[in-house]
A and B are shown apart, each in its own frame.
Chain A
Amino acid sequence: MADRYSFSLTTFSPSGKLVQIEYALNAVAQGVTSIGIKATNGVVIATEKKTGSALVDDTTVEKVVMICSNIGVVYSGMGPDARVLVDRARKAAQEYKRIYNVEPPTSVLVKEVASIMQEFTQSGGVRPFGVSLLMAGFDEAGPALYQIDPSGSFFAWKATAIGKNMINAKTFLEKRFTSSMEIEDAVHTAILTLKEGFEGAMTDSSLEIGIATMETTINSHGVPTKTGTFRRLRPAEIKDYLANIA
């Protein structure tokens, strides 16, 4: 008994394109802009927290999320699709930890998530994810920033933007980015880049920023060690950065 949905919905066009993936990229291009910048001592990812109305309780909205202790991610596109990927990425990171007892390096987790997104372009009865992810992490190889697209392709960036305002934002970044930037300059530049296309007022509750840096933490033996750590900036910290913009 042939299952009606056992074949792939993502099929080739005569010109050799996968139009479903092109359309997925269109969905991403409609999404709220997200920025990522890699500095010498860390990575910053940021986005605008755009809520439909002032009545929405925006303290519950989380667009910049931690995947594991050294890796975080921000998305542009369909929120629910991003949630699914965040769950799968978190699980993949913990499964890696079960085997090796260490956090996965950014490049390894990126490959894992990219291969999940690719699965949905070649499986029966499913559609591609309508999100692009910016994954930021700090591991033994240093800071890393990757973009992962609905097709499953991934790119390492020094600085990039995805979503609605990506073309202007990338032009802005091309002018502003220097390879000797440190993390504070990178956060400052990220906020300035977002400001270009910001809809509404820029406040500490309408901006979400996450940074991956080397922090000193206490390890399982009680010894302070330096490890790559991802965290979201607190509203008070965002406020300080915003005060420097004006």
Chain B
Amino acid sequence: MSIMQYNGGCLVGMKGKNCVAIASDRRFGVQALGLSTNFQRMFSVNNRLYYGLAGLGTDVQTLSEKFRMSVNMYNLKEERDIAPTTFASLVSSTLYERRFGPYFSEPVIVGLEKDDTPFICAMDLIGCINFAKDFVVTGTSSEQLYGMCEALWEPDLEPEDLFETISQAMLNAVDRDALSGWGAVVHVITPTQVITRTLKGRMD
């Protein structure tokens, strides 16, 4: 029994042409028993920066509340929105603070920088940042997601194509993992808008 496989769930983030996308599944369970089909793993920092947390459910919720507080304080103190790289450093240092008693959660962060350059990164549970150029994955079906992304991703996908790519990667990866699935949500972030779609997948 590994603590990172107790509740299940997974996330994927992808870079496109002047856009980024992040997708998560919706399952929450206690080992083999599935309990919820609408567990929220993805959260918005602002309309240009989203992040997701996979791993132990309670840590997902506590960390999202901690980050909401840190970002609110940042916005009030600095009177500006937090940049994606700065937010990634904030998440990393928050996780490393608990180096010897960590939060059992691994984040994925996607967003657009001030000049609209796409940004994605992922981290391990103690805050080691992986600044990827193409896609990032985390969760119980990360291996499956790596395979799907490697096969399907190509550079400079337009928002609509990026949506198709990330959705197929998510749906097919979670079908090979007992602890992930039960629905999926995708956010596609462009300089002008964020499009959120719920995917229809196998509910087994």
User: Residues on A close to B: CB < 8 A?
Assistant: 98-102, 105, 107-108, 111, 140-141
Asked if residues B85 and A101 are in contact (CB atoms below 8 Å), the reply is yes
Tell me the B38-96 residues at the A interface (CB within 8 Å): 77-80, 85-86, 89-90, 92-93
Asked if residues B77 and A99 are in contact (CB atoms below 8 Å), the reply is no
Asked if residues B89 and A100 are in contact (CB atoms below 8 Å), the reply is yes
Asked if residues A99 and B78 are in contact (CB atoms below 8 Å), the reply is no
Beta-carbon nearest neighbor of B88 in chain A: A101
A100 to B70, alpha carbons, bound, how many Å?
Answer: 11
A105 to B80, alpha carbons, bound, how many Å?
Answer: 11
Name the residue in B85, B89, B92 with the highest tally of chain A Cβ atoms < 10 Å from its Cβ: B89
Tell me the B91-149 residues at the A interface (CB within 8 Å): 92-93
**Nearest Cβ distance between residue B107 and chain A, in whole angstroms?**
16
**Nearest Cβ distance between residue A110 and chain B, in whole angstroms?**
11
* Residues of A close to B86: CB separation below 8 A: 100-102
CB-defined A-B contacts under 8 Å, sample of 22? A98-B93, A99-B89, A99-B90, A99-B93, A100-B86, A100-B89, A100-B93, A101-B85, A101-B86, A101-B89, A101-B93, A102-B85, A102-B86, A102-B89, A105-B78, A107-B78, A107-B79, A108-B77, A108-B78, A111-B77, A140-B80, A141-B80
Asked if residues B90 and A100 are in contact (CB atoms below 8 Å), the reply is yes
* Residues of B close to A141: CB separation below 8 A: 80
* Residues of B close to A100: CB separation below 8 A: 86, 89-90, 93
Tell me the B130-180 residues at the A interface (CB within 8 Å): none
Beta-carbon nearest neighbor of A99 in chain B: B93
